[in-house]
């Protein structure tokens, strides 16, 4: 292998200015091959029937690449290793027989059992919950027709368009292979190198840089199927469908500074929040919605329904709400259930089928393959958390960890010794029948030109953000790229941002000391010639809308304060009404109220009553709460001279949280925030409990970020 001695960032050396714009590689001149030494002509496109047709099983290059990728890590998941799960039920609002014959979507009297697993993508099982990352949102329905898995993410799109590129994406975003650094983070060279050379990633990167990638809790996330599926009704009529999970807790994010502090205070913050909410009877709920597109409208829109890097804006195709999921029981054993649950988008029931989305086609092979390594063989379906309600009867036998004991001497079909059993089921009796789609096309490795617009929807996403959301996106790009050591990679990403929004590119570039440059065809020396065939930048589509309000989290605030964590800052001498009125009212609204004091044990009120302390200022932190109440009483004088109490209030203010103080409690606010004029946004100084509750519903007062205080 040829070593380039002028590599500008070797061993952390300070590069010379003239080297920064030069593309270098230690692998120049080496052709890409399969594991058998066969030179690869196209590593960007799987083998399909036509440029929009299904992926072919004969694509040995795709299968070799994904098989190797699926088996790289044992025993934890290659991706989505860090997970949290819960049991629940799904209830249907209205029968969907017009679109699908799936029985669980046509019986409003039945409560379908479910198991839901949330997860981060990048990190290992032991990584933090608080990584800036996409979150998995997978639901297993235990239906009367078998298991149905709806495997979603909390972003509406994905990074790549073809399953053959998924291993490359994950290799790039995982810890770098030479040093295994950084864990559960995308702020490093290899990920952004990949992004800067694959423009199709930009739309999902915009979601990743938004507050959706740093959710307040797993309960306050939306879910998206990303891929386009099919509904098939009893008459065999097909409609395209995308699935949505709409959180009834609202959709809430956190500021990046707070996220980093939470990661240090409580690595299990999201996992603990979900567990505690369910244990306290605050069962999280999501409504299931569908976007349904008739078969004849497949080519109606200026984007391709088969392109997983594109949303179908709700403003163009409204989401029809059809049911509700309630998570009401925590697992009895984390390993047996949450760790061993196995999802697969190919686990469907009659009435649900697949589209030719090339990302989905790759997923349909990959999931079963990876479970074989992770769960010790082909019998993972027999693990209790994965078992279907209908009895499994087929001719599959043996294999590692076989639990089912089959009787009889025939394990083949057709047979006469077993009476012809198990028999095939007629379609009319519920036998699964794949949708009959006529395909007549050449067998090629090629991407449809309808997939080449990489930036129009990225722009739509950015235009749809509220003011504070745009600010957070700028800050996120600046932070992430600021961690990238290779300056040409930073420059390429900033240049790509020009295709999204000029102001965004200028602001990020200014933070990085770079000037955005609009690059055109042909590609410059900064870009390897095969980075993305033919179109490094992209074509541009005219979207019928300039903004999509449904994309902004600012429009999705909750209607109540259920399961919000509220800190009451106390000490000896606290006013009695805190416990007789304030805590009582907040708890009646299903908030999770905790008494915080300088030390553990009990606090004594002004009248001499004693109440137990939940956390001390040594173990608690404002970043673990949604709001702070500072009560009246002699406790205020004590807390106003307590450094940890002052920091608690000041930090909550910095992170834009609702704060209320009553009587002498205002003195603590003045001590913690000497430069602040009251009243301030989201700060109540008259102890008005109703106003405090309304402020909590608003989640954060982001305007405070525009004049930040040092904490």
- Known catalytic residues are 80, 153
3-state SS of the chain: helix, strand, coil percent to 5? Answer: 30, 15, 50
The neighbour count for residue 583, using CB atoms within 10 Å, is 20
Which residues does 405 contact at the CB level (< 8 Å), separation at least 6? none
C-beta separation of 452 from 535 below 8 A = yes
C-beta separation of 141 from 90 below 8 A = yes
DSSP, collapsed to helix, strand or coil, labels residue 401 as coil
Which residues does 543 contact at the CB level (< 8 Å), separation at least 6? 302, 303, 313, 456, 457, 460
C-beta separation of 94 from 320 below 8 A = no
Q: Which of 683, 646, 681, 677 is nearest to 662 (CA)?
A: 683
DSSP, collapsed to helix, strand or coil, labels residue 492 as helix
- Which residues partner with 245 through β-bridges? 223, 288
C-beta separation of 292 from 255 below 8 A = no
**Cα–Cα distance for residue pair 357/344, rounded to 1 Å:** 16
Which residues does 590 contact at the CB level (< 8 Å), separation at least 6? 282, 560, 561, 562, 563
DSSP, collapsed to helix, strand or coil, labels residue 547 as coil
- Which residues partner with 181 through β-bridges? 176
Phi and psi for 377 in degrees, rounded to 5?
130, -175
Q: Where are the alpha helices (DSSP H) in 502-655?
A: 502-512, 577, 583-588, 635-639, 643-654
**Cα–Cα distance for residue pair 450/477, rounded to 1 Å:** 28
Distances (CA, A) of 671 to 200, 277, 629, 636: 51, 34, 15, 11
∠ Cα 660 661 664 (to 5°): 180
**Cα–Cα distance for residue pair 612/595, rounded to 1 Å:** 8
Contacts of range 419-424, beta carbons closer than 8 Å, 24 or more positions apart: 421/393, 422/393, 422/394, 422/395
Q: Is 637 exposed, middle or buried (0-12, 13-18, 19+ CB in 10 A)?
A: middle
Taking phi over 0 as left and psi of -120 to 50 as alpha, with beta for the rest, 136 belongs to beta
The residue to which tokens 């008739």 are assigned: 294
C-beta separation of 692 from 585 below 8 A = no
Tokens of 677: 């004029």
DSSP, collapsed to helix, strand or coil, labels residue 287 as strand
Distances (CA, A) of 677 to 280, 318, 665: 38, 44, 16
Direct distance between the N- and C-terminal alpha carbons of the chain, in angstroms, rounded to an integer: 50
């Amino acid at each position: 292998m040829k070593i380039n001695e002028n590599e500008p960032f070797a061993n952390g050396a300070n590069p010379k200015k003239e080297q920064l714009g030069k593309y270098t590689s230690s692998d120049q001149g080496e052709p890409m091959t399969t594991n058998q030494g066969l030179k690869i002509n196209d590593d960007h496109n799987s083998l399909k029937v036509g440029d929009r047709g299904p992926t072919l099983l004969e694509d040995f290059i795709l299968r070799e690449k994904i098989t190797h990728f699926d088996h790289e890590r044992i025993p934890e998941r290659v991706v989505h290793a860090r997970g949290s799960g819960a049991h629940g039920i799904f209830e249907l609002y209205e029968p969907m027989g017009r679109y699908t014959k799936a029985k669980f979507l046509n019986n409003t009297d039945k409560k379908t059992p479910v198991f839901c697993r949330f997860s981060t993508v990048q990190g290992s099982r032991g990584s933090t919950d608080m990584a800036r990352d996409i979150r998995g949102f997978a639901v297993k329905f235990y239906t009367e027709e078998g298991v149905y898995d709806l495997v979603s993410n909390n972003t509406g799109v994905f990074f790549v368009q073809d399953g053959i590129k998924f291993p490359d994406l994950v290799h790039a975003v995982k810890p770098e292979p030479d040093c295994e650094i950084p864990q559960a983070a995308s702020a490093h060279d290899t990920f952004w190198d990949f992004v800067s050379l694959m423009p199709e990633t930009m739309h999902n990167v915009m979601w990743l840089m938004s507050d959706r990638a740093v959710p307040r809790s797993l309960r306050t996330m939306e879910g998206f199927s990303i891929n386009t599926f099919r509904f098939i009704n009893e008459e065999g009529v097909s409609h395209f469908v995308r699935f949505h999970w709409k959180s009834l807790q609202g959709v809430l994010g956190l500021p990046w500074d707070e996220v980093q502090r939470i990661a240090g205070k409580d690595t299990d913050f999201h996992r603990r929040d979900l567990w505690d909410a369910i244990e306290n009877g605050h069962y999280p709920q999501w409504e299931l919605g569908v976007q349904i597109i008739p078969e004849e409208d497949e080519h109606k829109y200026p984007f391709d329904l088969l392109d997983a890097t594109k949303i179908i804006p709700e403003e163009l195709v409204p989401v029809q709400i059809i049911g509700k999921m309630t998570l009401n029981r925590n697992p009895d054993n984390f390993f047996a259930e949450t760790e061993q649950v196995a999802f697969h988008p190919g686990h469907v029931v009659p009435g649900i089928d697949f589209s030719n989305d090339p990302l989905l086609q790759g997923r349909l092979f990959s999931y079963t393959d990876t479970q074989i390594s992770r769960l010790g063989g082909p019998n993972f379906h027999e693990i209790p958390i994965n078992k279907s309600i209908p009895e499994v009867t087929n001719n599959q036998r043996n294999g590692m960890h076989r639990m089912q004991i089959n009787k009889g001497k025939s394990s083949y079909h057709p047979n006469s010794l077993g009476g012809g059993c198990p028999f095939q089921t007629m379609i009319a009796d519920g036998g699964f029948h794949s949708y009959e789609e006529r395909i007549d096309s050449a067998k090629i490795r090629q991407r449809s030109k309808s997939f080449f617009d990489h930036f129009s929807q990225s722009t739509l996403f950015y235009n749809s953000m509220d003011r504070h959301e745009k600010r957070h996106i700028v800050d996120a790009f600046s932070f992430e790229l600021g961690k990238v050591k290779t300056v040409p990679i930073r420059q390429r990403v900033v240049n790509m941002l020009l295709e999204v929004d000029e102001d965004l590119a200028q602001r990020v570039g200014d933070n990085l000391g770079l000037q955005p440059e609009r690059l055109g065809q042909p590609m410059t020396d900064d870009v390897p010639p095969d980075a993305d065939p033919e179109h490094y930048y992209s074509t541009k589509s005219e979207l019928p809308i300039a903004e999509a309000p449904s994309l902004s989290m600012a429009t999705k605030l909750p209607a109540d304060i259920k399961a919000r964590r509220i800190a009451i800052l106390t000490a000896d001498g606290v006013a009695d009404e805190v416990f007789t009125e304030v805590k009582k009212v907040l708890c009646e609204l299903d908030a999770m109220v905790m008494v915080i004091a300088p030390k553990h044990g009990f606090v004594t009120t002004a009248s001499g009553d004693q109440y137990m302390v939940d956390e001390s200022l040594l173990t608690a932190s404002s970043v673990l709460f949604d709001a702070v109440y500072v009560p009246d009483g002699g406790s205020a004088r004590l807390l106003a001279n307590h450094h940890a109490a002052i920091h608690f209030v000041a930090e909550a203010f910095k992170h834009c949280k609702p704060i209320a103080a009553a009587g002498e409690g205002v003195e603590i606010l003045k001590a913690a925030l000497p430069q602040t004029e009251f009243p301030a946004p989201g700060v109540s100084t008259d102890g008005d409990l109703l106003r405090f509750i309304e402020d909590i519903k608003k989640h954060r007062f982001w305007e405070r970020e525009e004049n930040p205080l040092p904490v």
